[in-house]
Amino acid sequence: MINKFVENIELALDGVKSNMTFMFGGFGLSGIPENIIKELSNREVDGLTCISNNAGVDEFGLGLLLKRKQIKKMISSYVGENAEFERQMLSGELEVDLIPQGTLAERCRAGGAGIPAFYTPAGYGTEVAKDKEVRIFNGKPHILENSLVADFSFVKAWKGDTAGNLIYKGTARNFNPLMAMAGKITVAEVEELYPAGELDPNHIHTSGIFVQRIMQGENYEKRIEQRTTRKR
C-alpha cells in the first residue's frame, strides 16, 4: 500500500519556494489549512500568488501572510473581514483578481480535470469580463475563463488515511476537494489520521490519487469569521 504520510510539517512543505502559486482550501475560515499557513508565515518566502476563497482575517489564516507582505497577488472571491487585505488592495501594493465564487470553484475544478478553459455567463457586463472573449450560446453571452492550477495545493480535511484519502466536514467541502485536484503537489493536513483501509470508501470525498503528502494537524483554533448573536 502506498504511504503518503509525512512525519512533520518541514517534510510536508519540502520544495516550497518564493514566487510560486499556492491554492488554499477552505470556505471563509472553515476548513483552512491552519498549520501550513502558520508555518509559511514563519518562512522567508514571498512573491506568492495565492488562490483562495478569501484572504482570511487580520492576524489569522492568510492574514498572517498578508501582514508579512509575502503575497504578491490574491485570486479570490471576496475581501472578507480583513482590513489589511483591503488596505493593500486599495493602495495598489497587492495585485487582486476578484472573481465570482462559482467561477472560482469551476476554474479550480477545470484545472484539476485538465480542462484549459470554459465559457460562463457569470460576470458578463461587469469588470470581471474585461478583455475576455465573449461568445453567444442559446442567445446568451458567455465569457471565456481559464482554468487554475497551482504549484502547491494546501487543503485541510476532517479525516484522512495514510494513502491520502480525505473526508471533509460541512462547508469545508466547498473548495477543498476542488483545490486538492488542481495542485501539481497537493499537501493535506488532517484532524484525524487513520491507517489505510480504515475509512469507509463510500464516505471518501477526495481520492488519495490526488494527494502527494498527508500530515497530522494539531491545535486547530477553528475561528468564526463573523459571529452574530442576539440577547436571550
Give the domain CATH number at 30. Answer: 3.40.1080.10
Asked if pLDDT for residue 230 goes beyond 80, the answer is yes
Question: What does the pLDDT average to over 52-81?
Answer: 90
In a domain, 75, yes or no: yes
Q: How large is the average pLDDT for residues 82-103?
A: 91
Residue 188 has a pLDDT of: 98
Q: Which band of pLDDT confidence, cut at 50, 70 and 90, is reported for residue 183? A: very high
CA distance 143 to 120: 5
Instruction: Say whether pLDDT at 28 is over 90.
Output: no
Q: Where are the beta strands (DSSP E) in 77-148?
A: 95-98, 117-120, 134-137, 140-146
In the chain, the percentage of residues whose pLDDT exceeds 70 is: 99
**What's the CA gap between 116 and 147, in Å, rounded?**
5
Query: What pLDDT, on the 0 to 100 scale, is given for residue 113?
Result: 96
Residue 46 CA to residue 70 CA, distance in Å, equals 4
Cα 121 from Cα 123, distance rounded (Å)? 6
CA distance 81 to 97: 17
Report how many domains make up the chain: 1
Cβ contacts of 209 within 8 Å, gap of 6 or more:
164
C-alpha cell at 208: 488519495
Contact 100, 77 (CB under 8 A): yes
Which region, left, alpha or beta, applies to residue 97 given φ > 0 means left and ψ of -120 to 50 means alpha? Answer: beta
pLDDT value at position 68?
A: 94
- Give mean pLDDT, residues 117-124: 96
Would residue 31 count as lying in a domain? yes
Confidence of residue 54 (pLDDT cuts 50, 70, 90): confident
User: Which H or E run includes 11?
Assistant: helix 9-12
129 three-state secondary structure: helix
| 84 assigned to some structural domain | yes
The residue among 224 and 7 whose pLDDT is bigger is 7
DSSP-assigned beta bridge partners for residue 61: none
Q: What pTM does this model have?
A: 0.92
* Residue 137 grid cell: 450560446
The larger pLDDT score, comparing residue 134 to residue 81, is at 134
**Structural domain includes residue 2:** no
Q: Which residue has the higher pLDDT, 55 or 193?
A: 193
Q: How far is CA 139 from CA 121, 124, 136, 142, 212, in A?
A: 11, 13, 6, 10, 44
Backbone angles phi, psi at 98, to 5 degrees: -90, 120
Q: What is the mean pLDDT of residues 127-136?
A: 94
Could you say which DSSP state residue 182 is in?
S
Where do runs of H (alpha helix) occur along 92-167?
Answer: 101-113
What is the rounded average pLDDT for all residues in the chain? 93
Residue 232's pLDDT is what? 80
Q: What is the pLDDT of residue 55?
A: 86
Higher per-residue confidence, 188 vs 231: 188
Per-residue confidence (pLDDT) for residue 56, from 0 to 100: 85
* Residue 228 pLDDT > 80: no
Residue 57, beta-bridge partner list: 60
Task: Determine, yes or no, domain membership for 129.
Answer: no
What's the CA gap between 190 and 215, in Å, rounded? Answer: 6
Q: Is 59 a domain residue?
A: yes
Domain span at 107: 9-116+149-216
